[in-house]
A and B are shown apart, each in its own frame.
Chain A
């Protein structure tokens, strides 16, 4: 009963804030609505009993990712920061079919995922071991190859970031001594 009330509260909050992300014109408000979406999704995870996923949602999405948007936006003078003047409307229209394909793919993956996901088999395991241990044991047994591949992708991303951020030698013409 209480679970349902909390779940409905967080879902409504998430949907409302998602509308805010799309329709608000001041970018700082957009970021705050995004933050609200992420936090309420973490709340939904908590209600569903997936504490580890909820905490990671908070730690990585709500803090680490959203902070960088805030960083960028706080450096913008706030009279210039409104969405209306700087929106690529025509380009947005052209990119619509691509976005549609992406959403269709997400839907497909979701439906297939429901078909193959273990129904209720993990519940016993979670009760016996606890959230973190179950996620760890599944990652390092069943999905070990995928896990290692993802870590490889992350490593490549890191090397790319280091390459972009390195100090370049004298490349540009520099007149000042």
Chain B
């Protein structure tokens, strides 16, 4: 923890949602006093590896002078003009907001902090005010009176603070009568900042790692092999079966790509075990790849160029290995990229085939163009066709609830597949209140590259709405595990639950699949994938 302030719920809960009288057009921020609410700047090594501007400049958000290039305003304004010409979203969103305020209390960061500039409308106004000054007659003539501002250093610092306090979760865009999407605005402002050398380390370093080694964690090929072999050994202890995991296997039918955290972090790891069991049971002809050993794409949190630079590996590797189609693991923003960006960025993939489940024969027509199927779609189809046997009572020691991750829900519409899987794998499933799930779901507060320790206060604040909903089902339904399909969620929700709703655990959907899966020729399993003993069988109460 970087902050010396003690993080206690009762301190964080002194939230006022009534804005101060200070005019929002005043950009000043005291970074020193706000420690715990912002992230460290990008390190030289990462920026250099990615050929980003000004890699050598060392600056910290608390510095008076950010050592910007002399013509930084020109660079940003040029960049803005260029993006207005490239993105209709930006053009329209700059012009049509009526400031009705419907978005105001929809942002988890506003709910948890009460900082008025975390109202999505004001976050957008931070850019809109510059747009007005540059592109509208009224803004040029009347300035502040009509909400126009000059692009100054304090404004840039304010951008850094607030556009790295948006997790691009798109909840506000669900409620906006014009569909204004703050994520789009945040993405573009972060891009503009990157052009003058302003980025954060928690984003730049994973990107640089991923570009070089194929995954955000920077795990080299032999490390990847070790991790997977380690998982196979672990699995052998639990299910007493040998599980072979093909890596970089040419001619496999399917390339499987999952976030690197799945093979390196907990509780992600149990989900990985779940996949491995499932693939063994159905005899799937698949392969992992070391070159494309990352499903996630932190490029999404940096710039459109960076999305493309990292994402290109997916198809390149599919082509090199000669697979027919691609299967993707549990992740949130990864699926925003695969669903909404990949095919457009990388172009048509003639070498791949229409995805067809080798087990059920189902053709995934919804992935006809990208040739990439979500693991939840794949598994739901297996269950529906009766191709795997499940014993949900093996999850009876869990009372799960399901957290829809932002991107699968609001950028894909993947809502019922995971629920169908969970219904078949768990007996005690309970939903959180309806305003906090499905398309209304709340972010973990740590997405979009903000899941770092130095930013913990803001993460916990942003996590309040989710935490509160978890606590509600913990108290009402005895929920003891929060399931999700997002690697960032799995990494950051444990801290959130510890803080707002202890002792609720965090897990993945395919962890439950693994637990419930009855494998051909299996011996009786004593524990679940976490090594927790199964609930006693004799009590067969229906819940």
Same complex: no
Q: Which residues of A contact B (CB under 8 A)?
A: none
Q: Which residues of B contact A (CB under 8 A)?
A: none
